Amino acid sequence: MRWWTTRRKAWAIVGTLLLLVAVGYGIYLFSGLPSLERIENPKAELATKVFSADGEVLDQFYIKNRSHLALQDMPKSVIDALIATEDKDFHDHWGVDLIRFMKAMVKNVFALRLKEGASTITQQLSRNLYLGHNDGNLFDTVTRKIREFITAIQLERSFTKDEILEFYLNVVYFGRGAYGIQAASQVYFGKQPAELSLAEISTLIAVLKGPGYYDPLNHPDRAIGRRNVVISQMEKYGYITESEALEARNDPIQIRSAEETRVAGIAPHFVEYIRQQLSQKAEKYGFDMYRDGVSIYTTIDSRMQRYANRAIEEHLTGYQQAFDTQWDWGKEKDVLVRVIDQAIRTSPEYRTAESGQLQDSIYSALKGNHAWIDSMKQVAKLIEVGFVAIDPKTGNILALVGGRNARNFKYGLNHVTQIRRQPGSAFKPFVYTVAIDNGYPPSFEIQNLPVTIMMADGTRWTPSNSDGEFGGKITIREAIKRSVNIVAVRTMDQGFAPVKQVVEYAQRMGIASPLPPYASLALGAGEVTPLEITAAFGVLANRGVYVQPTSILKIEDKDGTVLEESMPAQREVLSEETAFIMTSMLEGVVNAGTGAHVRDFFQLPAAGKTGTTTDFADAWFVGYTPQIVAGVWVGFDNNSVHFKTWDGQGGRAAAPIWGRFMKYVYDDPSIAMPLEYFEKPEKVLSETICTETKKLATPFCPETEKEYFTEKTVPGKCDRHSTARWKDGEEPGGTISF
């Protein structure tokens, strides 16, 4: 008797626990269901709009690229194909097929995974409208299926069968970003739904089973097989005749390419840059950028953006043609081997192969595919570009072109924010900035003679000038104007601008990329992004103040509530005297130095520096006016491909793009950019010096010139051409009173 009582208590405890679990699960289950109000009034999913600073819509972010289409405007074959394939008893059930549902659940439980869906059209609609696709573990999957079951019944009570069909065919995902039959018809075929053939309709309905798996462009065999299943189902249930089915199976279809469906705006690389930032901000502020109708106000000026696009297209069209005549794959066999090897190893087929054996097979197949190799040759020798223009005072990015593929952009490489390349001589301003700050004026002379540097690894490095010529002493001003390599290296090696100090200054000015603390850094041995080096030059344009580049001015929700406003970080990193003196030297680069090709297009005040790397692999020009700093990189995605002649020098390959852009911007009356000059700070002294001795000129000096100094860098007086002794206190080399 005692044993029986103990057993009853145990069963009671178990029963109570099971009841509590059931109640808890029931609460959890029903808490995840949409309310009746939400079911009867589905929330519209709104696209996020990206605006330029001057009010133009640059692009939109959305999940549901759709246009609503009434059921009566849809071809009957669309409805017939859907019902025959997805839910043959649609008109006879009350939202769910109970027997089919229970069988599927049993199979799912025993398989410990979602093996069969058994979803009716109404259940699929409930998932698309309210519940989402959240197939995780078995518990989550079963819960979601039960919620679908309940919601489907509520939908059937709230709407007619025709309304459910209309809802479904306007919200269901067809792949390629297309939601609804209207968008899908345009994306896949460039047609209105009423214009679709039976074969095309069957193809769209086939895609619903797996938009990625049955994509007719990427997987044509799978798509055709599934399409034929749809046609067979329509024939089986009497929607079409045997002859109609045969004709549809034999009807060839033409799918629009991805390039045809993607119409890029004027700033696709910039918009993708914005999208990447929003992915992080969405979590912070709790919005869905694809559904919540957020407004993004950016820094881009649409007029300047169009001028950037124009300048690049005008320059590179002819430049590409010239390069094509110079490059000969027959003479570049070693390069071709590297190009093809890299292309194969980065191809989607190779990267997604499930085994090394399969990779080897793919490698051999692609290497033997002459048509594919020819296409890779064309891709490899395509000249690429990165361009960015920034307001140095605010940090606002005014224009950004991330590559040549702006018209057919498909979220590829952004050559402004996502590449790091050696800047070559475009790095020299950082070296001379340190020298100026350390008290060496632009008139300071350094030997332009060969030098050998002992490197950290024990090797000897003997740099040379680009023209192979050397000479005697030349000034820092002349060295940067002519981009003399030896003088830049000696400036660093002889302690006028120690390497550690150069690294420190470059980082303070905005270079975030790692920089090697070696003498080769003087010639741009470190790698940087175009965005960061352009912003760093902005310090010189902005009188010594660094402002962090920014692309978003303001974010508002659908109700106009401001979620975030831009407050870019800024810091003073140089004295305005040093910034101005560097600017005056860089003006010489543009007016009569390596950047003189800028003057073929643009005549207003400007300063900048060219950069060219070994074998003409990378060409740079970074320059600025008082209002805009802009950087241009020109090169190739594959480092093995490079320019063959001096056409690959920064002054020829990159500077003209900069000059064209500035001309178009400053000539535009709607932009009305005012004419400004680089303003000399009060503490910068303009002195007349002897051209020969670089000391303060006297009436006896035969040739003189103007130079800028700070108080601590003014040289003594010249005595070489004197015919009389100086008075007391005016000896040659003496100090000057202010």
Give the mean model confidence (pLDDT) for residues 237-249.
Answer: 90
Q: Are the C-beta atoms of residues 431 and 491 closer than 8 Å to each other? A: yes
Lowest mean pLDDT among 41-45, 254-258, 494-498: 41-45
Nearest to 118 by CA among 138, 142, 139, 92: 142
Give the strand order in the sheet containing 618-624: 397-401, 384-390, 629-635, 618-624, 607-612
Q: What confidence category does residue 732 fall into, taking pLDDT thresholds of 50, 70 and 90?
A: very low
Within its chain, how far is the Cα of 586 from the centroid? 30
More confident residue, 64 or 168: 168
Task: Give the model's pLDDT for residue 610.
Answer: 97
Give 421's DSSP letter. B
Tokens at 326, concatenated: 């110079």
pLDDT tier at 483, thresholds 50, 70, 90: very high
pLDDT at 146 over 80: no
**What pLDDT is recorded for position 661?**
98
The helix (run of H) or strand (run of E) holding residue 388 is strand 384-390
Q: What integer pLDDT is reported at residue 454 of this predicted model?
A: 80
The structure tokens listed for 390 are 């920034």
pLDDT digits (tens, 9 = 90+) for 308-331: 999 999 999 988 898 888 888 888
pLDDT digits (tens, 9 = 90+) for 535-558: 999 999 999 999 999 999 999 988
- pLDDT for the residue 681: 96
326 with 679: CB under 8 angstroms? no
Q: Which of 339, 327, 350, 407 is nearest to 375 (CA)?
A: 339
Task: Return the pLDDT at 33.
Answer: 44
The answer to whether 399 and 465 have CB atoms below 8 angstroms apart is no
Contact yes or no for 74/169 (Cβ under 8 A) = yes
Q: For residue range 659-693, list pLDDT tens digits in order.
A: 999 999 999 999 999 999 999 999 999 999 999 99
Measured between alpha carbons, how far is 330 from 625 in angstroms, rounded to an integer? 44
Distance (Å, whole) CA 33 – CA 26: 11
In the predicted model, is pLDDT for residue 20 greater than 60?
Answer: no
| Mean pLDDT within 487-509 | 95
Write 73-77 long-range contacts (CB < 8 A, 24+).
73/193, 73/194, 74/169, 74/181, 74/193, 75/193, 75/194, 75/196, 75/201, 77/196, 77/198, 77/201, 77/234, 77/239, 77/240
Average model confidence (pLDDT) across the chain? 84
- Average pLDDT of the residues in 571-582: 97
The DSSP letter of residue 713 is G
- Structure confidence at residue 100 (pLDDT): 62
* Overall average pLDDT of the 160-176 stretch: 82
DSSP label of 472: S
On the question of pLDDT at 512 being above 70, the answer is yes
Residue 358: per-residue pLDDT? 83
Q: Who has greater pLDDT, 103 or 302?
A: 302
Six token digits for residue 38: 């939400």
Of 11-20, 513-522, 527-536, the range with the lowest mean pLDDT is: 11-20
Q: Quick one: pLDDT band at residue 4, thresholds 50, 70, 90?
A: low
Q: What is the pLDDT of residue 501?
A: 97
Residue 89 to residue 511: CA distance in whole angstroms: 65
Smallest CA-to-CA distance from 557 within 175, 287, 254, 336 is with 287
Residue 608 host element (H or E): strand 607-612
pLDDT(48) > 60: yes
Burial 542-562 (b: 16+ CB within 10 A, else e): bbbbbbebbbbbebbeeeeee
Angle subtended at Cα 497 by Cα 494 and Cα 499, rounded to the nearest 5 degrees: 90
pLDDT of residue 10: 64
Q: Tell me: the pLDDT tens digits for 428-443?
A: 999 999 999 999 999 9
First and final C-alpha spacing in the chain: 115
Distances (CA, A) of 654 to 217, 612, 616: 38, 10, 12
Give residue 738's pLDDT: 26
Distance of alpha carbon 425 from alpha carbon 621, whole angstroms: 10
pLDDT in tens, 81-110: 888 888 888 777 765 666 665 665 555 555
* Residue 29 scores a pLDDT above 60: no
Going by pLDDT thresholds of 50, 70 and 90, the confidence category of residue 36 is very low
Q: What percent of the chain has pLDDT over 90?
A: 45
Tell me whether residue 21 is exposed, middle or buried, using C-beta atoms within 10 angstroms of its C-beta: 0 to 12, 13 to 18, 19 or more.
Answer: exposed
Confidence bin at 598 (pLDDT 50/70/90): very high
Residue 291 is predicted with a pLDDT of: 77
> Is 41 a residue whose pLDDT tops 80?
no
pLDDT at 32 over 50: no
pLDDT at position 140 over 70: no
What type of residue sits at position 528?
V
Q: What would the mean pLDDT of 261-273 be, rounded to a whole number?
A: 80
Dihedral sign, Cα of residue 555, residue 560, residue 563, residue 569: positive
**Which residues have C-beta within 8 Å of that of residue 545, sequence separation ≥ 6?**
539, 570, 571, 572, 573
